[in-house]
Chains A and B, each alone.
Chain A
Amino acid sequence: AQTVTQSQPEMSVQEAETVTLSCTYDTSESDYYLFWYKQPPSRQMILVIRQEAYKQQNATENRFSVNFQKAAKSFSLKISDSQLGDAAMYFCAYRSEGNRDDKIIFGKGTRLHILP
């Protein structure tokens, strides 16, 4: 069974600085998808970024980028120029490719604090 591990329960970063959130996963599959979701205090789940495992190039969305290391099964999220609105829980997540398994598997989350 696939698992997702986030080893940092909480992190803090100064506004305008850069922070990296760690995530490792375990799978025997070769094709899959990885995600980072943001959950602000409103509890709404917001997709931040998505990575297809077959793509070697790291995904980027504005100030958010990932470092995807397939061999190491590592998928970290880098937030550049941190803003107060980035304060939230961040969840790393995994999904199998195709119709083998439709569920998304989430890590336990990292709570990110932005210090003004």
Chain B
Amino acid sequence: NAGVMQNPRHLVRRRGQEARLRCSPMKGHSHVYWYRQLPEEGLKFMVYLQKENIIDESGMPKERFSAEFPKEGPSILRIQQVVRGDSAAYFCASSRFRGPYEQYFGPGTRLTVT
């Protein structure tokens, strides 16, 4: 039973480029959460999605960031016109149901903006 998969594991982008991070939830999971971890910090919530719906995006920066979870395929976190401050580890988690059920985390994508 494969866990949450994220790719790429490492991504290097120059300032101004776009970054696309992918997350495939565990089999049978239809709830996806994105978190960001800045250096020496804890994880901070960004967005919660169900298939084709954004449920809570209260942690998403207002500009340049977007997320989707289409009916088919992985969830995508998209960062346009990246800046150095976007350098961080981005984690995806999934759960089978909504509610206080365990969120299973992926290995993260480390984004470096040069």
Contact = CB atoms under 8 A, between A and B. Distances in A.
Interface of A: 4, 33, 42-47, 50, 91, 93, 95-99, 101-109
Instruction: Name the 3 nearest CB pairs between A and B, nearest first.
Output: A106-B42, A103-B45, A45-B105
Interface stretch (B13-21, B76-84, B96-104): B96-104
B100 A95 contact: yes
B67 interface: no
A44 B37 CA distance: 12
Contact of B41 (A47, A101, A104, A108): A108
Interface of B: 31, 33, 35, 40-45, 48, 55-56, 58-59, 89, 91, 93, 98-100, 102-103, 105, 107-108, 110
Contacts, number: 59
Contact of A33 (B55, B91, B100): B100
A88 to B, nearest CB: 14
Contacts of B35: 104, 106
B100 A97 contact: yes
